[in-house]
Structure 1
Amino acid sequence: MHRRTFLSSLSALGPLALGASSLFSGRASATPLVDRPDIRAGDRLAGASFASRSTVWGTKGAAATSHPRATLVAIDILKRGGSAVDAAIAANASLGFLEPTANGIGGDAFCMLWDPKAGKVVGLNGSGRSPAALSLETVREQSPKGRIPSLGALSVSVPGAVDAWWTLHQRYGLLPWKDLMAPAADLAEQGMPIPLMIAARMRSDMARIVKPESNVEEIDNIRKVYMTRGRTPNEGEVVRNPDLARTLRMIGEGGRDAYYDGPIADTIEVYFKRIGGWMTRADLAAQHAKWVEPNHVDYRDGVSVYGLPPNSQGPTTLQMLSILKNFDMAELGLVSAKSIHLQAEAKRLAFEDRAKWFADPDFAEIPIEHLLSDEYGQQRAALINPGKVMERAFPGDAPHKGGTTYLSVSDANGMMVSLIQSNFAGMGSGLMPDGLGFSFQNRGSGFSLQDGSPNIYAPGKRPFHTIIPGFALKDGAPWLSFGVMGGGMQPQGQTQIITNMVDYGLGLQAAGDCPRWRHDGSSEPTGVYKPGVGELRLENGIPDATKAELAAMGWTVGGTDAGFGGYQATMKTEEAYGAASEMRKDGLALAI
C-alpha cells in the first residue's frame, strides 16, 4: 500500500479509532466520578485477573509503542518489506510528533537488537555531548542551587537521536531512508487528535515551562506550536506541527547531515546565539553514535538479561537481578510483601553503585565486570535482611517521571529491536529552534557539579543517562525485547517485568499490567542527596495486607502518583511473535 493511501485510510478511521475520545474530552474536569480505586476492572474469562487485555500474537512481525498511530506506522513499514530497524525508526520519528511530551528529534536514543545474521545482541549508544564552548566554571556560575537547571540553554546537550537512526539504518535498513521520515512528516502536516495521557502530560509540562520563574530564555516558539488555542490541547483535539513536518522532510531528503552539518544545524546555531546559548554547528557535526557491547547477567531458568553499559544506567537492572537470583523469589509469591521487600532492597543497593560509578566511560573508569559478577551479587544479597529494612540510608532521588518513549519491533527475518528515545524530563529544556518544530532535550541537567564525581560536568562529555532498552535471551535464543520508560523507574520496572515472567509465570501482557512498586530516595549520579531510607510507593492494585506487612518491616509506604513507568514489549517463541503494550499509557501492540 502506498504511503499516502495508507495514511488517508488511517485518517478515515480516525473517528472510530481515536477521534471518539473527543466525546469525553471533559472527563478531566469530572475526576471525582472516575477516580474510584474501590472499583476494579471487569472480569475476564482466562488469564491473570488483573490483566487489561490479552497478548497480541502473529507470525511475521510485531510492534508495540506508546501511541496507536505509531504502532500502525511500524506495522505498515513491516508489510512493505522493511526491517524491524526501518519500522522502529519510522515509528520513533512519528512519536516525536505524536508524543512530544516524551521524545523527539531534539533528544537522544539508545538501542539493543538481535542481529539474526550475527546471532547476538548488538548495542548502540546514541547520546550526545555537552557543548564545547560551555565551561564548568560557567555552568557553576549559572547553577546557584548547586545543580544544573532542568530548563533553559544550560541543560541542553547535543541531540543524538537522528544520528542514531541513521547509524542503525546504514547497517540494517532495507527501505529508502526518506520513506522512513515520510509517515511522521505526513502526520505532523495533517494533524492528529491528542490522546488522554499525552494531553495531561503536555498540560503540566507547558505550565512548568512558561511560568516566569522558570527563566527559560525563549518560550514563544514552543507556545506557538502547543498553545495555539491559548492553552494546551484537551483530549481529542487535533494537534498539527507543520514546522516539524518541513524539518522531517529535510532530514528525509538530506539524511543525517541535513540535521548535523547542514541547514538545520545552521538554524540551531543561529538560535542559540540569539538566546545566549552555547551549542554550535561544530558541536552537532561532531556527533556520532557508538556501537557498544551490551553487558548481561544470567538470571535463572536459562534467561539472560542484557543492558547497555554506562553512560546509561543499563547495568542497574542487571545488578538488581544479580542480587535477586540469590533468593527463591517464586516461593515468596507474586506482589507479596517479602517479594517486594527483596526487590526494593536490591534496588537500593544497585542505585548506590550507580551513583558512585556511572558516567561517560570516556572520562571515567567503571568496574562493570566486578559490579555484575556473581560473587559481588552474592555479597550484596547478604546485606539484605529478609524481614526488615536495612538501616543504612541511601539519600537522593532520580526523576521517576521522565519524558521518554520506548518501543519494540520484531520482523519476519528474526530481527528484534528494543529502542528507547527521550527528551529527558517531559518536553525537555523548553527551547524550540526557530521554525523547526521540535524542542531540545534537557539531558545536561543529569551532570553532577561536585568535585570528585565521575559524572562531573565537562565540555564534550556525555551526561549520565537514565534511558535503557531491555533485552533477554532464553537458552541462548532471542526471547524478549522490552522496556519500561520513566527515569529512575526504568531499572525497577525492568526488574519487575523479568521477575513477573520468570519467577511468577505471568504472560507478556499480564507482566506489564501487574501492579508495581517504586522506591524513591537513593543516591544519585547528579550529586543530590537526601537522608533516610526513602519511600516505597505502591500502586492501588497492591493488596492492603501487603502494604501493612511492608510497613511493619520498616518501610515508609506511599501511595500511587502515576510515576510507575510505561512498558512495551515483543516476544519470540518457536512459532510466533507476541506483543504487549502499557495500560498506563495511550499505546497499542499489534502483530501480523
Structure 2
Amino acid sequence: MSDLQYNSRRSAVVCCNGCVASSQPLASQVGTDILKAGGNAADAAVAMAAVLNVTEPCSTGIGGDAFCLFYDAKSKQVKAVNGSGRAPAALTLDLLHKQGFSSSSPFPVQHGHAVTVPGAAAAWVDTVDRFGSGKLSLTQILQPAVDLAENGYPVQQITALLWNKGAESLLTPKNDHGRDLLVNGRAPTYGEVIRLPYLAQTFRELGTHGKKGFYEGRIAKAIVAAVEKFGGVMTADDLQNHVTTFEDPISTDYRGYRLWEIPPNGHGMAALIALNVLETYDLKQLGANSAEYLHLVIEALKLGFSDTTWYCADPTKVDVPLSTLLSKEYATKRRQLVTNNRAMKNVQKGDLNIGPDTVYFTTADSEGNACSFINSNFMGFGSAIVPEGCGFTLQNRGSGFSLDTVHPNVIAPGKRPYHTIIPAMVTDSNTGDLVMSYGVMGGYMQPQGHVQVLLNMLEFGMNPQQALDQPRICIGGGYGYDESYVSVEDGIPTEAVEGLVDKGHSVRGPLVAADRTLFGKGQAIAVGNFWDQSDNSAQRKAECIYWCGSDPRADGLAIGF
C-alpha cells in the first residue's frame, strides 16, 4: 500500500461526560455504548479490548498479554494491572541448550517455546472485578465483541494491510486451524466482511465462566495441545496457576507533571529515565522537531534504553535497581554523557528482539476515572498458532527473553519476559489530579512515543490531537533495539534531518505511506487544557472537559459525549 496517504486533518474531540479513543472505529463506538449503559472507564476498556481482538486479530487478542493503568478519581491514585504471562514451569535454559538453542541460535518465533501463558483473559476479568462499576456483568461487557465476531464486520484499511502481512504465518503446515482467521485461505481485504464464530464462542465461555472458562476446560486443553504440537512444554498446570498482579506504577516528575508507567517487566522506565535527562534543557527555545531538539531527545532515549535493555526483567526473579535508575541524581550523571553535541555511540547493553504490533486504547468516564489499556499478541499474529475451536492466535512473548546465561532477562521457569507494551498516564504533581491518559503502541517505539507526545504538549503547547499528528523519530526500526541509526517520519523538516546527519546520526527516511506505522499508533485523553500557555488559560484548565485525540497512523478515532 505504497499509495497510502495521510492527508486529512482532525480536531481534538471535546466533551464533558465521557470519551474513548482507539485504533478501530467499531471498538470506539462500543466503548461509548458501554459508558452510556452505566459502565465506567474500566468496563469500557475491557469491552474495547475484546472488540479489538475481533477487528484487529493481527495485532491483539485474548491469546496475548495486557497491561493497564487505572486512575481512581475518588482516591486520586493511579493503579497498575500486570496481565503478562509467564514461561512454562518445564521451560529451562538447560532444556533449550540440549535442544540446540542458544543466544546465537534462538528458537523460532513460531515455536511452542515462544508461547508464554496468555495473560489477557485474566487481566480483562480482573480489571472488571477490581475497577469496574459493578453495574454490568462480564457477559454484558463482552457481548458486543461476541456479536461482531458471529455476525461479521468489514475490515478497515490499515488492519487489512497488517492482516495480509501476517497471513502466511497462519498457513504453515502444522497450523491446522490458522485458516479460521482467513477468508478462503487469504487475508480479508479492505471493506470485506469476515466472521470469527470460534472466537465468539471463546468470549461466551469467558463471560459465563470467568477465568475458569479460559484457563481450565476446553480452551485450556486446546492451548496445551497446540503448544505441544509446535514443540513447546506448556501444561494445564501452567495455565491454571496463572495470576494477574496488581502493582504500584513507577513515575517521575517533569516540570510539575508526573508521568506514570508500568514497572518492570515492562520497559516504561526508559521514558522516565529519558525525561529525567531532558528536564534541565530549554527544549521550548530549541523549537519542535528542530535538529537540536531531536538530537537531545534521541540521546536521552539512548541513555534510557541502555539501562532498560539490561536491567528490565521480572523483578520477582532478579533485582531491578529502580530507585537508582529513576533518581534525579542518576540523571545528572547520565546527562554528563551528552556533552559534545554529537551522537553517542555504543551505549546499548541489551540483546532483545521486539516487534511493533499491538493495540493501545484509552477511556474516561463521567466520574473522572480513566483507564489506559494496552493489549498485544507481540509480533503481528504472535506465534500465529491457533488452538482448535478457539478462533485466536497465541502470543510469542517468549521471544522477548534473552538466552544469555548472565542476562537479567534470561529465560527461566515461571518468569515473565521483558515486555514492550506499556500504557501511560499523567497527573498533576501537586494536586494528584488526572491530566492525561495516553499511550503509543509499537515495540521499542512505545517509550519514545510517550516522550515525544508529552513534550509536544508540555513544551510546545499542542493539544492531544496535534501532539499525535506531529511527525516522530524512532531509534532503530522497531524490531529489536538498534541505536546505530534513527528513522525519521515524513514531515520532519529537511533542515532537521540534515542537522542530525551533521551531528553524527545515521538517518533513515523520511519514511512515507504505510512505512509510517513504524512510528506507532497512539491515543490520548486529556482533562482540561494543561498545554495551553496563554494568559487566559487558567479557567479552562480548571474545567473538567475532556480533550481527546486519535492517531492518524491507524484506522480509529476518538468519540465523546
Distance 1:580 1:245, change over 3 A: same
Residue in 2 that maps onto 1:5: none
1:469 aligned to 2:423?
yes
Q: Is the 8 A contact 1:334 1:500 kept in 2?
A: yes
Residue in 2 that maps onto 1:16: none
Q: How much does 1:586 deviate?
A: 0.6
Give CA-to-partner distance per residue, 1:76-135, whole Å, 9 cap, x none: 000000011000000101100100111100001111111122221111111110111222
Q: CA RMSD in A?
A: 2.0
- SS at structure 1 position matched to 2:177: helix
**Aligned residue identity for 1:168:** T
Alignment coverage as a number of residue pairs = 536
Instruction: Report the TM-score, using the length of structure 2 for normalisation.
Output: 0.92
Distance 1:553 1:274, change over 3 A: closer
Structure 1: distance between partners of 2:166 and 2:185: 15
1:580 aligned to 2:549?
yes
Distance 1:555 1:290, change over 3 A: same
Distance 1:142 1:392, change over 3 A: closer
Residue in 1 that maps onto 2:461: 505
Instruction: Report the TM-score, using the length of structure 1 for normalisation.
Output: 0.87
Q: Is the 8 A contact 1:194 1:235 kept in 2?
A: yes
Structure 2: distance between partners of 1:101 and 1:385: 43
Q: Is the 8 A contact 1:56 1:589 kept in 2?
A: yes
Residue in 2 that maps onto 1:246: 201
Q: How much does 1:326 deviate?
A: 1.9
- SS at structure 2 position matched to 1:451: coil
Residue in 2 that maps onto 1:333: 287
Counterpart of 2:187 (choices 232, 248, 255) is 232
Residue in 2 that maps onto 1:183: 144
Distance 1:257 1:217, change over 3 A: farther
Q: Is the 8 A contact 1:398 1:488 kept in 2?
A: no
Give CA-to-partner distance per residue, 1:66-85, whole Å, 9 cap, x none: 10000000000000000110
1:546 aligned to 2:496?
yes
**Superposition map of 1:8-19 within 5 A:** none
Residue in 1 that maps onto 2:540: none
Structure 2: distance between partners of 1:388 and 1:273: 50
Q: Is the 8 A contact 1:447 1:455 kept in 2?
A: yes
**Aligned residue identity for 2:299:** E
Structure 2: distance between partners of 1:521 and 1:79: 41
Residue in 1 that maps onto 2:558: 589
Q: Percent identity?
A: 39
**Aligned residue identity for 1:167:** D
Unaligned ranges ≥5, structure 2: 529-542
Structure 1: distance between partners of 2:229 and 2:373: 34
1:433 aligned to 2:387?
yes
Structure 2: distance between partners of 1:274 and 1:394: 37
Q: Is the 8 A contact 1:396 1:521 kept in 2?
A: no
Give CA-to-partner distance per residue, 1:538-586, whole Å, 9 cap, x none: 1110011111111111111101232000101111122211211110011
Structure 2: distance between partners of 1:504 and 1:397: 35
Give CA-to-partner distance per residue, 1:213-248, whole Å, 9 cap, x none: xxx6722211x2233233211111111100000111
Q: Is the 8 A contact 1:395 1:521 kept in 2?
A: no
Structure 2: distance between partners of 1:397 and 1:235: 37
Q: Is the 8 A contact 1:109 1:127 kept in 2?
A: yes
1:384 aligned to 2:341?
no
Unaligned ranges ≥5, structure 1: 1-27, 43-51, 211-215
1:166 aligned to 2:125?
yes
**Aligned residue identity for 1:159:** P
Distance 1:386 1:72, change over 3 A: farther
Q: How much does 1:280 deviate?
A: 1.7
**Aligned residue identity for 2:119:** G
Structure 1: distance between partners of 2:325 and 2:548: 32
- SS at structure 1 position matched to 2:451: helix
Residue in 2 that maps onto 1:118: 75
Residue in 2 that maps onto 1:515: 471
**Aligned residue identity for 1:455:** N
Counterpart of 1:91 (choices 42, 48, 55) is 48
Structure 2: distance between partners of 1:335 and 1:53: 20
Give CA-to-partner distance per residue, 1:154-212, whole Å, 9 cap, x none: 100000011111111112222111101111011000111111111111111123454xx
Q: Which one is further off, 485-494 or 387-396? A: 387-396
Q: Is the 8 A contact 1:153 1:217 kept in 2?
A: no
**Superposition map of 1:175-324 within 5 A:** 175-208=136-169, 210=171, 218-222=174-178, 224-300=179-255, 302-324=256-278
- SS at structure 1 position matched to 2:496: helix
Q: Is the 8 A contact 1:94 1:187 kept in 2?
A: yes
Structure 1: distance between partners of 2:330 and 2:347: 20
1:68 aligned to 2:32?
no
Q: How much does 1:148 deviate?
A: 3.5
Distance 1:550 1:275, change over 3 A: closer
Q: Which one is further off, 76-85 or 380-389? A: 380-389
Q: Is the 8 A contact 1:78 1:411 kept in 2?
A: yes
Distance 1:445 1:53, change over 3 A: same
- SS at structure 2 position matched to 1:317: helix
